[in-house]
Amino acid sequence: MLRSRLIYLIVTLMFFILLAYLGVRTLEHEVLLRHYQTQRLAEAESANVASEIESLLRQKAARLNAISDFIDPQNFPALKSLKEKDDDITAVFTLRKNQLLYPDEHQPLSNEDKEWVRQLTSLVNDPSQLISHIPHTEQETPQAGWFIANEIQEPLLIYWRQKGDIIIGFRLSYVQLMMDIANGVQVNAEDKQRVVRVSENGRQLYQNDAADPRQLALLDARTLDYPLVAWQISVYGVKAPLYHIWLWGGMLIVLLLAAVALLSYSLWREYTRTARQARQQVDFVSQVSHELKTPLTNITLYAELLREGLDDEQTHEQRYLDVITQEGQRLSRLIQNILTFTRAPKLHLRTVDISRLIQDIAHIFTPALKARGMEIHIDCPKCITLRSDRDVIMQIVSNFLSNAGKYAAQGKRVDIQVQALAGHIDIAVRDYGAGIADKEMKLIFRPFYRVKSSITEGVSGTGIGLTIASRLAQRLHGEIRVTPVNPGVRFTLTLPQG
């Protein structure tokens, strides 16, 4: 009996220790999980702000590219008027090799222009500085990009583009850039205790909250890519107090141990009569303990590995995280297109003035087509209305015009013809390009299919535009027909009336 008591006491004590150990490790895991969640949220916030700033720079670069497409780099009055008409542009220059064409140093210059010429001296002497930071080969020289240099008052931020043998450059307003970022950056408003701060070499540029970051904990920090390499994004917040986890968890463990102790006492008193039942209880507890130990060990191991991976001193892991973040931004853009083409859109039906809609679409595409030497000719009767989704029709017709501008620019013309027939309306877009081979007429509506020819080489596209257009037409209970004409091809959207 004494031996049985000793064995029972040892087993009970071991169970208490094991239960207490498992409880403490569970609480440690919960604390680590809370820390990890806070860290991940901060990293996501800083990555989101970085993405929005980079997106803003891409938008500005695209707009400046469009401006440089339309402006003559040797039209000095037009260059001079840019900074008066555009809030983003504070100065312009044109450069041929090592000669500054504009501003012309041989002409009388204002003090502001003289200062601008002085700031450009190093670039004039060595234009290769513009591409020194851009990875490239000797065979492929970059044709556009950003350049930044530190000045006394504010950094010299320039976007340049090569047009023939002339480089045209635009100096962006640093103040306007900061204002655009302050107005455009969206910070998660759900967490009122998180502060996102954008700074440049310690100088604050933007902060989403008036709270003092010095009173908060630094949760994450990252540096932007070129040209804003001096910009840092810092996320501050209040690390959630975790004492309540230990408090309530400890109380739960104590209650559990007390319950086990009470159970053990009851079992001991009823040992003779319930020895079999007591052995079953011990077997059950041992089995549960074994099953819980393995996943808890794995969870703890991976939590430790993850914490080591997020150490600030582990630069390799940080770079891997940066690569994962960047590749995700790129895939998001591709996925957005796939979502659009795989998800059935919700229609907003209303009365649509087709003639007005065609005029609006033509107005949007006229500048881009004119830049390619193309003209739009419209043949659309007045007072044609249809109950349908205006935005969907615009998306389909815009796809037709976009394709015409990309692949049929040599035709110099695009016709838009609208016909009201019995029971339906036809909206046709005809180009005067090289056309499409008969064998590819049906293939062009397949997802990701692109016609392979000399015309499409070098033209960007995903190959799902016509697929999206076809599915949108089906949603409107219509169809898209493609007809070869000489020269060119005609795409016709047929929509039912009534």
Task: Note whether 420 and 290 are same-domain residues.
Answer: no
Task: Note whether 14 and 96 are same-domain residues.
Answer: no
Residue 467 contacts residue 371 (beta carbons within 8 Å): no
Within a domain: residue 107? yes
- Model pLDDT for residues 329-367, shown as the tens digit of each residue: 334 434 444 445 555 667 788 998 999 989 888 887 888
The reported pLDDT for the residue numbered 333 is: 36
Q: Of 496 and 293, which is predicted with more confidence?
A: 496
Residue where a domain terminates, one of 172, 188, 207? 172
E strand or H helix at 246, and its extent? Answer: helix 243-269
Residue where a domain terminates, one of 172, 189, 219? 172
Task: Note whether 445 and 371 are same-domain residues.
Answer: yes
**Has residue 132 got a pLDDT over 90?**
no
The reported pLDDT for the residue numbered 416 is: 93
The reported pLDDT for the residue numbered 290 is: 44
Average pLDDT (199-222) is: 80
Which amino acid, residue 67? I
Task: Note whether 120 and 146 are same-domain residues.
Answer: yes
Average pLDDT (19-44) is: 78
Highest average pLDDT, of 11-15, 147-151, 232-236, 311-315, comes from 232-236
Percent of the chain with pLDDT over 70: 76
**Has residue 399 got a pLDDT over 70?**
yes
**CATH code, domain carrying 398:** 3.30.565.10
**Has residue 324 got a pLDDT over 50?**
no
Within a domain: residue 473? yes
Residue 33 contacts residue 183 (beta carbons within 8 Å): no
Task: Note whether 425 and 369 are same-domain residues.
Answer: yes
**Has residue 302 got a pLDDT over 60?**
no
pLDDT band at 301 (very low <50, low <70, confident <90, very high): very low
**CATH code, domain carrying 148:** 3.40.1840
Beta carbons within 8 Å of 185's beta carbon, 6+ residues apart: 49, 52, 53, 196, 198, 206, 208
Rounded CA gap, 283 and 224, in Å?
58
Q: Print the SS3 string covering 315-352.
A: HHHHHHHHHHHHHHHHHHHHHHHHHHHHCCCCCCCEEE
Within a domain: residue 364? yes
Average pLDDT (18-40) is: 77
Average pLDDT (7-25) is: 77
Cis amide linkage into residue 484, ω under 30° from 0: no
The reported pLDDT for the residue numbered 217 is: 81
The reported pLDDT for the residue numbered 167 is: 92
Task: Note whether 365 and 336 are same-domain residues.
Answer: no
Average pLDDT, the chain: 77
Within a domain: residue 66? no
Residue 401 contacts residue 361 (beta carbons within 8 Å): yes
Cis amide linkage into residue 103, ω under 30° from 0: yes
- Model pLDDT for residues 452-471, shown as the tens digit of each residue: 655 555 455 556 778 888 88
| Least confidently predicted of 33-47, 154-168, 264-278, 364-378 | 264-278
Percent of the chain with pLDDT over 90: 11
The reported pLDDT for the residue numbered 160 is: 92
Residue 404 contacts residue 465 (beta carbons within 8 Å): no
Task: Note whether 398 and 480 are same-domain residues.
Answer: yes
Q: Of 344 and 65, which is predicted with more confidence?
A: 65
Average pLDDT (386-404) is: 87
Within a domain: residue 233? no
Per-residue buried b or exposed e for 82-102, using 16+ beta carbons within 10 Å of the residue's own CB: bbeebebbbbbbbbeeeebbb
The number of domains in the chain is: 4
Within a domain: residue 116? yes
Q: Of 328 and 2, which is predicted with more confidence?
A: 2
Within a domain: residue 407? yes
Question: Within 13 Å of residue 455, how many CA atoms lie on the same side as its CB?
Answer: 17
- Model pLDDT for residues 151-183, shown as the tens digit of each residue: 767 788 999 999 888 999 999 988 888 888 878
Task: Note whether 418 and 280 are same-domain residues.
Answer: no
E strand or H helix at 377, and its extent? Answer: strand 375-379
**Has residue 287 got a pLDDT over 50?**
no
The reported pLDDT for the residue numbered 104 is: 86
Beta carbons within 8 Å of 269's beta carbon, 6+ residues apart: none
Q: Which domain holds residue 325?
A: 315-343
Task: Note whether 400 and 364 are same-domain residues.
Answer: yes
pLDDT band at 295 (very low <50, low <70, confident <90, very high): low
CA distances from 266 to 5, 8, 262, 310 (A): 14, 13, 6, 49
Task: Note whether 125 and 247 are same-domain residues.
Answer: no
Using DSSP's 3-state secondary structure scheme, residue 160 falls into strand
Q: Of 50 and 18, which is predicted with more confidence?
A: 50
Q: What is the DSSP letter of 476?
A: T
Within a domain: residue 189? no
Rounded CA gap, 261 and 80, in Å?
88
Task: Note whether 375 and 441 are same-domain residues.
Answer: yes
Task: Note whether 460 and 385 are same-domain residues.
Answer: yes
